Homo-oligomer: A and B are copies of this chain.
Amino acid sequence: MVLPASSPTTREQILTVARARFSDHGFAGTSLNDIADEVGIRRPSLLHHFPSKDALYREVLIDAFADWADLVEQATTGPREGWRQVEQVLRAAFTFFEEHPDFVRLARREALEGGPMLEGELTALLRPLFDRGAAFLQREMDAGRLRTYDTRQLLLTGYGAVLSYFSDAPLIGGLLDDEPMSPASLAVRREHVIDVLRSALEVN
């Protein structure tokens, strides 16, 4: 049975709402009633679709990280070299975070928690992406197209500089004068990060 896009399954609705709630208030701060209420069903009905709160959270997390893996996969294919390729990935990542603010907060919470998911499936999913990124950077550095750094550290630096802006938007809103998630502010942020990293990475 093919459902039209206009009528998502109850199960899909639960996943959508759960992702939003978990990303806003964390695992402990979200109750199954919160989720069920927003979907428009009772908690036992929700538990008809998912065996437990933990299982629901796991699925939310895996879905979210799979989305991210897809993007990285897609953004890292292409014949570009040196800084141009780095910039393409940065822009793609930035756009992804703009469009998936839930993912950012979810990932940050999980990184902070270091929960049981993290040491296992999640790192198994991220590790290849990380290693691939490091290998690419190493190749470009060896070829003299990028300035030389510790590649893994460099990945961590870029990831921190980009992700923190999104995950800490509430705090940053209090430090800047503008609304940090407005399109204008996001554009400023994007160009700044690219600018700084270009200065640090370009050879000439």
Residue positions of A touching B, CB distance < 8 A: 25-29, 105, 108-114, 118-119, 122-123, 126-127, 130, 147, 149-150, 152-154, 156-157, 159-165, 167-172, 174-176, 188-189, 192-193, 195-197, 199-200
Name the residue in A126, A163, A175, A197 with the highest tally of chain B Cβ atoms < 10 Å from its Cβ. Answer: A175
A188 to chain B, nearest CB (A): 7
**Residues A154 and B28 in contact in the complex (CB < 8 Å), given A119-B170, A167-B111, A171-B123:** no
What is the bound-complex CA distance between A7 and B109, given in angstroms?
Answer: 36
Name the residue in A108, A159, A196 with the highest tally of chain B Cβ atoms < 10 Å from its Cβ. Answer: A196
What is the bound-complex CA distance between A108 and B171, given in angstroms?
Answer: 9
What is the bound-complex CA distance between A196 and B188, given in angstroms?
Answer: 21
**Residues A111 and B192 in contact in the complex (CB < 8 Å), given A28-B28, A156-B164:** no
B127 touches A175 (CB 8 A): yes
A171: chain B residues at CB < 8 Å are 110-111, 114, 118, 122-123, 126
B168 touches A152 (CB 8 A): no
A188 touches B150 (CB 8 A): yes
